[in-house]
Amino acid sequence: MSFEDTIRYLFNATRIMDVGDRIEKLLVTPERQVKVEVAIEMDDGSLGVYEGFRVQHNDARGPYKGGLRFHHEVDQDEVNALASLMTWKTAVVGIPYGGAKGGIQVDPRGLSLAELERLTRKFTDKIEVVIGPQVDIPAPDVNTDGQTMAWIMDQYSKYHGYSPAVVTGKPIELSGSQGRVAATGRGVALCGLWALRDLGIDPAGATFAVQGLGNVGSWASRILADAGARLVAVGDHGGYLHNPEGFDVEALIAHVEENPDRSVMGFAGADEIDFDTFIASEVDLMIPAALGGVITKPVAETMRCKLIVEGANGPTKPDAHDLLVERGVMIVPDILANAGGVTCSYFEWVQNNQHFYWSEKDVNDRLEPILRKAYESVNEIATARKFDHRTAAFIMAVREVGKATVMRGI
């Protein structure tokens, strides 16, 4: 995902809204970009040096909020793009946050648990002056999890006193929220179910394919399967599989969790296919839930799905998006589809600040109406103005962020 791609999507909305060059410039430009060098001692005594980033895009509507990813392809441009997307995502679902993102340029598979802990704590040392419960609240993202957040919370608390609200996505034992682990995938599945019905497709018996069976893809698959939909194609970094009869989702997820490579490959009773065959699967619903930029224009030309629900951030390139929309494919964009995670992170933050905790049922009962309202609002703009759903979502988000920015004063 590039910052240029994000700007193209944003400008589609701002030009329609005629916000003017001054406001447009404010909405594009990140408010703070932090780049740090993170040096740690490796287990063998050598020195490891890594680049770390934290970009704070806009805080007009509340504290900065966004994930932290560990990946060897993390760079300034990607983090800028993802921070911007968080601004629009929080505005679409109406929660009082701005947008931020962070990352460390590292392949975590090459590090021991002890090295990962040292890296995380040292990175926290470098950015603790620009994060905080009322300033910027990180969360898990690609290759980070509750344990990563626990280390950040502990390290930050050494400077500022016990501060559980400095991060979300923490383990339950450390003031995390019930329902947070499943929330992003739950939101993807709910958007998929609502969109299928709007397209006149009964979810019971609908077919779907998922790229990436990590946290988001696995929970989305579970919930869709529970609704009667059939997972017929799946893939990840290891390869791709096809089963026209439908996968046993729980067995497949268990296989991934037990596989040292954390991959679907090796699962019995399925045919191996390549990416080109996978992405061209004739399914009702396609869920890209891995990394960004996977659906390019050449890829889009081969796709035969009726609906795309973006579980990953920025999986669809602008030229590919335009082509798919022209062909009548409905796309539920990332800033709506995967907003369940940040919404539940907001719940966690609220619980941390109140020191009062909710049940999983309470969390899910609060999550669905927020996502449903956002989905219906975007759908209403798209239908009334004959826009695609991404443009409608950006229009809705820009309206909210723009008003807050102007009212607070430029």
| Partners of residue 139 on adjacent β-strands | 67
Token pair, residue 160, equals: 């500022």
Residue 41 is inside which H or E element, if any?
strand 32-41
Written as six digits, the tokens of 23 are 């406001």
Tokens representing 328 are 């009548």
User: If we measure between CA atoms, which residue out of 62, 60, 101 comes closest to residue 83?
Assistant: 101
Contact 104, 50 (CB under 8 A): yes
Q: Which of 196, 218, 364 is nearest to 289 (CA)?
A: 218
Alpha-carbon distance of 295 to 192, in angstroms, equals: 18
* Token pair for 166: 């400095």
Number of separate helices (H) and strands (E) present in the chain: 15, 12
Q: Which two tokens stand for residue 408?
A: 């607070």
| Residue where the block lists tokens 């004739």 | 282
User: 3-state SS of the chain: helix, strand, coil percent to 5?
Assistant: 50, 20, 30
Q: What distance lies between CA 402 and its chain's CA centroid? A: 23
Q: What is the DSSP string of 233-258?
A: EEEETTEEEE-TT---HHHHHHHHHH
Among residues 119, 99, 101, the alpha carbon closest in space to that of 111 is found at 119
User: SS3 of 26, please?
Assistant: helix
Q: What is the pLDDT of residue 410?
A: 73
pLDDT of residue 167: 98
Residues 241 and 270: beta-carbon distance below 8 Å: yes
Question: In whole angstroms, what is the distance from residue 301 CA to residue 262 CA?
Answer: 30
> Parallel, antiparallel, or unpaired for β 99-105 and 47-58?
antiparallel
Which amino acids are annotated catalytic? 101
Nearest to 117 by CA among 72, 70, 161: 70
Encoded tokens for 146: 């509750």
Query: CA 301, CA 316: separation in Å to the nearest integer?
Result: 12
| Rounded CA separation 270/249 (Å) | 13
Q: Which residues of the chain have pLDDT under 70?
A: 1
Taking only the tens place, the pLDDT of each residue in 302-345 is 999 999 999 999 999 999 999 999 999 999 999 999 999 999 99
Q: Say if residue 258 is exposed, middle or buried (CB neighbours under 10 Å; 0-12, 13-18, 19+).
A: exposed
Count Cβ atoms below 10 Å from residue 349 Cβ, excluding itself: 25
**Of 189, 270, 171, nearest to 226 (Cα)?**
189
Phi-psi label, residue 298: left if phi above 0, alpha if psi -120 to 50, beta otherwise: alpha
